[in-house]
């Protein structure tokens, strides 16, 4: 395609986005593959305009409590994989978890995300999920905040129990929707079970987050396909994160990718899903590039972690945590500088309530998704 033909094409595509019209697969692929700075800026500016239409200048903040780094799985990209002898393992007590959640709540986050590996302690057949449910109820009771859980793939009836215990969100990232790549990234795990757990969560009345990683061997078509799955799942939140190599894993020698792919994917997600939540994670680069992620169209900052409690991030076990930069205070001044603002708790709760009410009116067809 001649250069002179590309400019109107980009404008036409962005115009379609502004009018809420769907994009074709070649159009999405074209956006994701853009390399020229001025075109990328046009995409980001459109993503910001579309975000502003639905969320104004408000940004939501998520507190993150990674309470157990034990896991029965062996994902090739993850430090917590069971065979990693160099992993930093811990399992926080209920008191420690509640303390961390309360500190986050007091600091002003809008949601608490309780994350763990598929820890055999909680997955044991006797009373395992009961103790997790007890923990969830306690955190909910003490913080009065919307709650996300990221415990891995759990049985369908446990998802229903989560809903009854007050869980608002279930996050269970596929990381790729290329089945062959999934087998490499998540050996001996079921693609379909992971995907269907999100469908079951929605059927139980829980909002869902889907996610992908860039830089793990995917191509642009894989990302385009992921956007189709996210659309079919009707995920309320969709996140993309760049791969970060982890010590003690088979992917240690793979380079962390250029952040451009993640930023373009954030922007494309915003263009495709104007009123959905799209995170900018502090877990990849800390505060560095947070501004760029927000300027690409993200409207949630995730992985705020209270300092000095011995809690880890996932991709970046310690980056910025004890220094206090992954806190509400740490991000608020940046938001101010770029003309954005921290949303109120009421803003966020209203959004969650409206989405949960909408859930009861529609349902995802499992057969269509897989
Ligand atoms: S990505 Fe999740 S399931 Fe896989 S090893 Fe890490 S903690 Fe376990």
Compute the distance from residue 331 Cα to the ligand 1 centre, in Å. 28
Q: Which atom of ligand 1 is nearest to the CA of 81?
A: 5
Other CB atoms within 10 Å distance of the CB of residue 247: 11
User: What is the pTM for the complete model shown?
Assistant: 0.95
Q: 5: how many CB neighbours lie within 10 A of its CB?
A: 8
| Number of other residues whose CB lies within 10 A of the CB of residue 102 | 16
Q: Which atom of ligand 1 is nearest to the CA of 78?
A: 6
The DSSP 8-state label assigned to residue 277 in this structure reads B
Residue nearest atom 7 of ligand 1, based on CA coordinates: 117
Q: What does the alpha-carbon distance between residue 28 and residue 346 come to, in Å, rounded to a whole number?
A: 34
Q: What are phi and psi of 302, to 5 degrees?
A: -110, 165
Pocket test for ligand 1, best of 71, 76, 153, 245 (most atoms within 8 A of CB): 71
What residues flank ligand 1, with Cβ below 6 Å? Answer: 71, 73, 75, 78, 80-81, 117-118, 152
Contact 256, 243 (CB under 8 A): yes
* Residue 6: per-residue pLDDT: 47
Q: Report how far residue 144's alpha carbon sits from residue 296's, in angstroms, rounded to the nearest whole number.
A: 31
Ligand 1 centre from 176 Cα, in Å? Answer: 14
Structure tokens at 37: 């700075």
CA 1/CA 304 separation, integer angstroms: 44
Q: Which atom of ligand 1 is nearest to the CA of 79?
A: 6
Burial class for 266, CB neighbours closer than 10 Å (0-12, 13-18, 19+): buried
Give the C-alpha separation, 245 to 77, whole Å: 7
Query: What's the pLDDT at 318?
Result: 80
Residue 54 and residue 249: Cα distance in Å, rounded?
41
Burial class of residue 254 in the structure, from the number of CB atoms within 10 Å of its CB (0-12 exposed, 13-18 middle, 19+ buried) = middle
pLDDT in tens, the chain (370 residues): 554 444 459 999 999 999 999 999 999 999 999 999 999 999 999 999 999 999 999 999 999 999 999 999 999 999 999 999 999 999 999 999 999 999 999 999 999 999 999 999 999 878 879 999 999 999 999 999 999 999 999 999 999 999 999 999 999 999 999 999 999 999 999 999 999 999 999 999 999 999 999 999 999 999 999 999 999 999 999 999 999 999 999 999 999 999 999 999 999 999 999 999 999 999 999 999 999 999 999 999 999 999 999 898 888 778 888 888 899 999 999 999 999 999 999 999 999 999 999 987 765 454 545 5
CA atoms of 264 and 273, how far apart (whole Å) = 14
The CA-based angle 268-273-274, given to 5 degrees, is 100
Of the candidates 352, 304, 250, 357, the one whose C-alpha atom is nearest the C-alpha of residue 107 is 304
Nearest to 63 by CA among 306, 325, 339, 342: 306
Q: What is the model's pLDDT at position 81?
A: 98
Q: Which helix (H) or strand (E) holds 354?
A: helix 345-359
Which residues neighbour 29 within 8 Å (Cβ) at sequence distance 6 or greater? 220, 221, 224
């Amino acid at each position: 395609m001649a250069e002179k033909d590309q400019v109107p094409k980009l404008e036409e595509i962005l115009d379609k986005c502004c009018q809420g019209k769907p994009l074709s697969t070649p159009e999405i692929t074209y956006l994701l593959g853009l390399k020229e700075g001025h075109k990328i800026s046009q995409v980001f500016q459109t993503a910001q305009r579309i975000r502003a239409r639905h969320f104004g200048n408000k940004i939501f903040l998520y507190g993150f409590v990674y309470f157990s780094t034990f896991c029965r799985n062996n994902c090739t990209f993850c430090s917590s994989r069971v065979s990693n002898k160099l992993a930093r393992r811990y399992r926080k007590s209920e008191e420690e978890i509640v303390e961390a959640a309360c500190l986050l709540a007091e600091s002003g986050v809008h949601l608490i995300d309780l994350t763990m590996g598929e820890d055999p302690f909680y997955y044991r057949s006797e009373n395992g999920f009961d103790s997790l449910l007890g923990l969830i109820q306690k955190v909910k009771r003490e913080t009065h905040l919307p709650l996300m859980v990221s415990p891995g793939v759990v049985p369908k009836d446990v998802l229903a129990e989560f809903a009854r215990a007050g869980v608002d969100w279930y996050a269970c990232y596929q990381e790729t929707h290329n089945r062959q790549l999934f087998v490499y990234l998540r050996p001996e795990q079921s693609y379909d079970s992971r995907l269907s757990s999100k469908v079951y969560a929605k059927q139980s009345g829980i909002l869902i987050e889907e996610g992908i990683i860039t830089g793990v061997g995917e191509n642009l078509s894989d990302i385009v396909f992921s956007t189709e799955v996210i659309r079919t799942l009707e995920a309320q939140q969709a996140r993309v994160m760049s791969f970060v190599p982890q010590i003690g894993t088979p992917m240690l020698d793979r380079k962390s990718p250029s952040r451009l792919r993640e930023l373009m994917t954030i922007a494309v997600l915003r263009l495709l899903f104007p009123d959905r939540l799209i995170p900018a994670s502090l877990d990849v680069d800390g505060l560095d590039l947070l501004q760029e992620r927000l300027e690409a169209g993200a409207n949630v900052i995730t992985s705020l972690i209270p300092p000095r409690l011995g809690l880890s991030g996932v991709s970046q076990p310690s980056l910025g945590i004890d220094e206090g930069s992954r806190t509400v205070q740490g991000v608020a001044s940046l938001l101010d500088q770029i003309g954005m603002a921290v949303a109120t708790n009421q803003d966020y709760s209203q959004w969650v309530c409206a989405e949960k009410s909408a859930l009861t009116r529609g349902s995802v067809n499992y057969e269509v998704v897989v």
